[in-house]
Amino acid sequence: MKNNRNGQAEILREEQLEELFSVLSPKHKLLFSICYYSSCRVSEALQLQRADIIDNWIVFRASTTKTKKTREVRVPQKLFQIINEVGLPDKGYLFPNSAGGHISRQAADKALRQACEYIGLKGVSTHSFRRTGITKLHDAGVPLRTLQNRTGHASLANLALYVEVNQADVDAAGELL
């Protein structure tokens, strides 16, 4: 858990996600929904442009990813609904600022912290959406190599740091033999 902005970002339960999305502005709800449903980093989502949303796909350009590799992620139906609800600009950045660029990571973090304080969530950061999405997909049985391809992690070891392991699952694992 994050404590004073140190440590790993909290994994959110479904009801926490819903409550958080309900108090965020439409723009920030869309931003963090993209992070959650595509398992991307907030910096990757902030740099998305309208041209990066093609039919049912989000294209994370190599120039905007940590690994410097282009990655395409299919838009899940729930994210598609949020996109339709909030709407997208006709061109330019999805999350523009007044200076013609995109909003900063710090501005997104501030909006999230304010929403979390309002509803009393602790340990949540912009990275919580990525960790939560990855953990939920892992818990649903998505193979690690598939997750690695989806998230753009360079190694399985790095990806494994994102997956929260439930102690009950560890305890029950031996029964599967």
First-to-last C-alpha distance (Å) of the chain: 32
Assigned domain for 7 exists:
no
Phi-psi region of 88 (alpha: psi -120 to 50; beta: other; left: phi over 0): beta
pLDDT digit string, tens, across residues 131-176 = 999 999 999 999 999 999 999 888 898 888 888 877 887 888 888 8
- Decide if 23 is inside a domain: yes
In a domain, 4, yes or no: no
Q: What percent of the chain has pLDDT over 70?
A: 96
Query: pTM for the complete prediction?
Result: 0.88
Q: Which domain holds residue 66?
A: 14-165
Q: Domain holding 29: CATH number? A: 1.10.443.10
Tokens of 65: 């990813």
Asked whether residue 117 is domain-assigned, the answer is yes
Task: Give residue for tokens 């139906």.
Answer: 77
- Residue 4 pLDDT level (bands cut at 50, 70, 90): very low
What is the helix (H) or strand (E) element at residue 155, kind and residue range?
A: none
- pLDDT of residue 2 exceeding 60: no
Residue 122 φ/ψ, nearest 5 degrees: -120, 150
CA–CA separation, 3 and 1 (whole Å): 6
pLDDT at 13 over 80: yes
On whether the CB atoms of residues 37 and 76 are closer than 8 A, the answer is yes
Judge whether 173 lies within some domain.
no
Q: What pLDDT score was predicted for residue 7?
A: 66
CA–CA separation, 152 and 70 (whole Å): 9
Both tokens assigned to 59: 């294209």
Q: Is 92 left (phi over 0), alpha (psi -120 to 50) or beta?
A: left
Residue 35 near residue 45, CB atoms below 8 Å: yes
22 located within any domain:
yes
Number of domains in the chain: 1
Res 1: pLDDT: 47
Q: What is the pLDDT of residues 62-104, one digit of tens each?
A: 999 888 999 999 999 999 999 999 999 999 999 999 998 999 9
